[in-house]
Structure 1
Amino acid sequence: MKFISLNKSYINGEWTEGLSPRRYDILNPYDHSIITNVSLATSTQLEGAFETAKQVQKEWAKTSAEERRRILLKAAEYLNDNKADIVEMISRENGGSQIKANIEHHLTVEIIEEAANMTDEIYQVREVPSGMEGKINHIHRLPLGVISSISPFNFPMNLSMRTIAPAIALGNTVVHKPDVQVGYTGGIILAAAFEYAGLPKGVFNMILTDLEEIGDGMLDNPIPSLISFTGSTPVGQHIGAIAGKHLKRVALELGGNNPFIVLSDADIDQAVNAAIFGKYIHQGQICMCINRIIVHKDLYETFITKFVERAKSLPYGNPLDPSTVIGPLINDRQLEKVQGIIEEAKQAGVKLALEGERVGNILTPTIFRDVKSSDRIAQTEMFSPVVSIISADSDEEAIEIANDTIYGLSSAIFTSDLEKGERFGLQIDSGMTHINDQTVNDAPNVPFGGSKMSGMGKFGNPWIVEEFTFTKWISVQSKTRQYPF
């Protein structure tokens, strides 16, 4: 299988063996077979990667927009040329179905191609008026410097590249730490693509390691100007606290408790179709996945009957099988955590419409019904094929229930009245709302990000440009100024 031999960190343009005496087995979550064994990088190696990134950043920032664009598109070419191997690795390492793996590959290439459109955003000069006679105000957009990038296990290529590609396009350098569970799809393959593209040494550095080795080294190192993180809200809060102490910028995309709302006038069959996809894509292990389904009381029983029947029929098994929809959760620990939450809900008297079963590392769909918004399971991000269905007495109450959460990432509304849908969409406190679609939508040219405890900052062009650059004001006094003293 391609890429297997590249089981090392990538520092200063070199494939580098980790110096820790500890090693890590990257496993296939479906059958626990070992894909490879990697040596972990140490905190000293991480510090060296930051120093390297700092040393080369100024020179990289001087490269032309055309050169940066050429390199990015060459990296995209590598990913396209090796699509079959990459899709297979996503399924083996990440447990993603063939559908998920192809979606992730496509999104990753799209992100790079959109980043190539950003390369001329730096060094643009804008002139703004001055009330001072003879003063000219120039506003410059400059590279930010070094960016610290931390990505999760669930969509590792896509969620890594949405930081890395714009950062490089805008003249920054990057030190990137993927979740080592998905070291290939979160880091190694990306490094191979940039190596193929001829990216200068040190512009992109990728570290295979864990917290036992580096602690908060990705956060409290004085070199990076921004920390980009996608993952859980508790970890995001920890990062925010450290970044605040050091006055570092952050781009945080965190947890979600995403509502899927079926209003009284919805097309119920299409709503079921959308909800099945938005809940069960990648076993529910996506921050945007549907977590709560809120249905108007007039459609409630019909929706549940149709949704349960569809969920029961979803094929599960080996993600390398093209027919598989439900694959494994990422590891035993995550599966046992979810099973504990399910048992707690059952003990609390929450009613099951469909009880799933554990098959190896797979959990089949589990559906709770008649859930109250105050129930713990309705307030918990499940990150699994578990969903809560809640009845609403009115369309207005459905919106109130949707907002009854500390999170605000994505949401969806089904209705035959598009004007009402958009009006209600504006009332939902989330970064994204989709009318007559499900909650899992992404594109490189939209403002992707949440509200409340779901994060800070926006990804997507042009919003990421503001995040990853520094704006500087230079004034030029062209006429002699008279001072009052």
Structure 2
Amino acid sequence: MQSVKMLNKSYINGEWTEGESTRTYDILNPYDRSIVTSVRLATSEQLDETFKIARAAQKEWAKSTVEERRLVLQRALDYLAANKEDIVNTIISETGGTVLKANVEHHLAIDFLKEAIKYADEIYKIKKIPGSPEKLNHIYKLPLGVISSITPFNFPLNLSMRAIAPAIALGNSIVHKPDIKVGLSGGAIIAKAFEHAGLPKGVLNVILTDIEEIGDGMLTNPELDLICFTGSSTVGRYIGGIAGQNLKRVALELGGNSPLVVLSDADVNQAVNAAIFGKFIHQGQICMIVNRIIVHQDKYDEFVEKFVARAKELPYGDPSDPKTIIGPLINEHQLTKALRYIEEAKQEGATVALEGKRVGNVLTPYVFTNVENSSKLAQTELFAPIASIIKARTDNEAIEIANDTAYGLSSSIFTSDLGRGEELALQIDAGMTHVNDQTVNDAPNIPFGGNKASGLGRFGNPWVVEEFTVTKWISVQTTDRKYPF
């Protein structure tokens, strides 16, 4: 693979393009704050021109054959597979993710490409709907047009590919803006993969810039047809408002406050195993991370004792060390917020069952017990290695507590009665509930998405096909129709 540092430009109309801003941005390694690379930021004028390019390119790409689209996707997949080591190392250095996390992310990105190959034939396929003998009803799915994609810092390769792969597979073009903090793994590497794959110019465009340069340009450009955003609920609401005013479609995967519920008949050891992984993978910086652990009072003390013992043992430090589980938070801003949450929780009266510490840019695990679900700690999406354990008097109360949040992304239930577990799972108001597993699960062939403040729309095959296409009804009158006047 071309040196990562050489991929520090926007990719516009099939060309690696220097930003025209007077400003540059240093992408930093979250662990030691060393400079990974510096990016000259793209301007709003460059963004406007890119949307025009994407519109023209999409009209031609919409005429591509299934075989052409599948070949491009397969070649991009081959590129990611062939350059796995360099890509994984870039994810580690740019996101602060551990070796485990980076490998999981690389694997998921490839899986989304594999799945996109399967549904590249969904556009222009005729679905016949019964009607009268004199009228044929044909339903088509057509490319939607130009997609505006905005992705966050935590799983940049995977979350970007989750939007880019279906867009390309279904005949759309895309203007993609990764979080500039992870501009390489969130954008430039993907652009390189599709350049290698022979994707026609202008179908995929990656803009390396920030809000100070482009304002709402990714939301308001008249050429865009869909805004695909993964990020906070606050920003999602703002995007939804602008999209509504301009009658633009949205696919929004937003914040979470995922509960892991331990019922009275649960296997505590396995619940602890799951909660440790689901709380502390990538330092808690995942939208569907375990944010609240709700435990029946009969299992509470045993669970707390075993959970704290496990959390205390988690190795922390340099994420490039394969033994590390807890790496750095993404930047000083996120660290400061996490430390503020900890102090506020102490002031609210929560019990510190495990006192963590800051070591450089790493925050080691904190565990709070006797947490009230109404507290700020329990109702905040923490994005940090801070665990909150809540006691429930009954199993039904545990489900009520789980639902007592503005969010509804992921959730999980631990029980020895699988049938009852699934019945209770249906009572949790979340887009996804996992019985006897933790909350961080993703796959390209499931309906990934949330309820309430956690988003609108669903990713995954076949649900993403609906999101990224437009449905058209064509009727064919086979005989002369007689009209009443």
Which position in structure 1 is the counterpart of 2:152?
152
User: Which runs of no fewer than 5 residues in structure 2 stay unpaired?
Assistant: none
How do residues 68-83 of structure 1 correspond to structure 2 at under 5 angstroms? 68-83=69-84
2:399 aligned partner, one-letter code: I
1:77 aligned partner, one-letter code: D
Quote the Cα distance in structure 1 between the aligned partners of 2:165 and 2:475.
32
The DSSP-based 3-state class of the residue aligned with 1:461 is: coil
Which position in structure 1 is the counterpart of 2:253?
253
Quote the Cα distance in structure 1 between the aligned partners of 2:348 and 2:258.
23
How do residues 168-183 of structure 1 correspond to structure 2 at under 5 angstroms? 168-183=168-183
Quote the Cα distance in structure 2 between the aligned partners of 1:425 and 1:478.
50
How do residues 155-304 of structure 1 correspond to structure 2 at under 5 angstroms? 155-304=155-304
Provide TM-score, normalisation by structure 1. Answer: 0.99
Mapped pair 1:409 → 2:406: no
Which position in structure 2 is the counterpart of 1:342?
342
Write the deviation string for residues 304-343 of structure 1: whole angstroms up to 9, x where unpaired: 0000000000000000000000000000001101111111
Quote the Cα distance in structure 2 between the aligned partners of 1:149 and 1:447.
19
Q: CA deviation at 1:355?
A: 1.5
Which position in structure 1 is the counterpart of 2:129?
128
Quote the Cα distance in structure 2 between the aligned partners of 1:134 and 1:306.
71
Quote the Cα distance in structure 1 between the aligned partners of 2:113 and 2:295.
38
2:422 aligned partner, one-letter code: E
The DSSP-based 3-state class of the residue aligned with 2:464 is: helix
1:5 aligned partner, one-letter code: M
How do residues 357-396 of structure 1 correspond to structure 2 at under 5 angstroms? 357-396=357-396
2:174 aligned partner, one-letter code: V
Q: CA deviation at 1:137?
A: 1.2
1:356 aligned partner, one-letter code: G
The DSSP-based 3-state class of the residue aligned with 1:176 is: strand
Out of 471-480 and 116-125, give the one that drifted further. 471-480
Q: CA deviation at 1:416?
A: 0.6
Mapped pair 1:38 → 2:45: no
The DSSP-based 3-state class of the residue aligned with 1:127 is: strand
The DSSP-based 3-state class of the residue aligned with 2:326 is: coil
Which position in structure 2 is the counterpart of 1:27?
28
Quote the Cα distance in structure 1 between the aligned partners of 2:341 and 2:4.
37
Quote the Cα distance in structure 1 between the aligned partners of 2:128 and 2:409.
36
Which position in structure 1 is the counterpart of 2:321?
321
Quote the Cα distance in structure 1 between the aligned partners of 2:418 and 2:38.
52
Quote the Cα distance in structure 2 between the aligned partners of 1:126 and 1:89.
44
Write the deviation string for residues 257-276 of structure 1: whole angstroms up to 9, x where unpaired: 00001111111111101100
How do residues 1-150 of structure 1 correspond to structure 2 at under 5 angstroms? 2-131=3-132, 134-150=134-150
The DSSP-based 3-state class of the residue aligned with 2:188 is: helix
Quote the Cα distance in structure 2 between the aligned partners of 1:416 and 1:311.
24
Q: CA deviation at 1:2?
A: 2.9
Identity of aligned residues (%): 67
Quote the Cα distance in structure 2 between the aligned partners of 1:344 and 1:271.
28
Which position in structure 2 is the counterpart of 1:419?
419
Write the deviation string for residues 30-54 of structure 1: whole angstroms up to 9, x where unpaired: 0000011110000010011100000
Quote the Cα distance in structure 1 between the aligned partners of 2:414 and 2:421.
7
Which position in structure 2 is the counterpart of 1:434?
434
User: Which runs of no fewer than 5 residues in structure 1 stay unpaired?
Assistant: none
Which position in structure 2 is the counterpart of 1:312?
312
2:107 aligned partner, one-letter code: H
Number of matched pairs: 484
Q: CA deviation at 1:438?
A: 0.2
Write the deviation string for residues 362-417 of structure 1: whole angstroms up to 9, x where unpaired: 11101110111111111000011011100011111100000000000000111111
Quote the Cα distance in structure 2 between the aligned partners of 1:282 and 1:193.
25
The DSSP-based 3-state class of the residue aligned with 2:298 is: coil
2:466 aligned partner, one-letter code: E
2:117 aligned partner, one-letter code: A
The DSSP-based 3-state class of the residue aligned with 1:4 is: helix
1:95 aligned partner, one-letter code: G
2:390 aligned partner, one-letter code: I
1:51 aligned partner, one-letter code: K
The DSSP-based 3-state class of the residue aligned with 1:427 is: coil
Quote the Cα distance in structure 2 between the aligned partners of 1:102 and 1:6.
21
Quote the Cα distance in structure 2 between the aligned partners of 1:477 and 1:66.
32
The DSSP-based 3-state class of the residue aligned with 2:53 is: helix
Quote the Cα distance in structure 2 between the aligned partners of 1:432 and 1:90.
27
Q: CA deviation at 1:7?
A: 0.8
The DSSP-based 3-state class of the residue aligned with 1:276 is: helix
Quote the Cα distance in structure 1 between the aligned partners of 2:7 and 2:414.
46
The DSSP-based 3-state class of the residue aligned with 2:480 is: coil
1:99 aligned partner, one-letter code: L
Quote the Cα distance in structure 1 between the aligned partners of 2:153 and 2:269.
33
Q: CA deviation at 1:135?
A: 1.7
Quote the Cα distance in structure 2 between the aligned partners of 1:379 and 1:414.
22
Write the deviation string for residues 154-180 of structure 1: whole angstroms up to 9, x where unpaired: 000000000000010000000000000
The DSSP-based 3-state class of the residue aligned with 2:6 is: coil
The DSSP-based 3-state class of the residue aligned with 1:103 is: helix
Q: CA deviation at 1:130?
A: 2.2
1:444 aligned partner, one-letter code: P
Provide TM-score, normalisation by structure 2. Answer: 0.99
Quote the Cα distance in structure 2 between the aligned partners of 1:285 and 1:309.
22
The DSSP-based 3-state class of the residue aligned with 1:191 is: helix
Quote the Cα distance in structure 1 between the aligned partners of 2:355 and 2:128.
63
1:115 aligned partner, one-letter code: A
Which position in structure 2 is the counterpart of 1:458?
458
2:191 aligned partner, one-letter code: A
Which position in structure 1 is the counterpart of 2:476?
476
The DSSP-based 3-state class of the residue aligned with 2:333 is: helix
Quote the Cα distance in structure 2 between the aligned partners of 1:195 and 1:237.
34
1:126 aligned partner, one-letter code: K
Aligned Cα RMSD in Å?
0.8
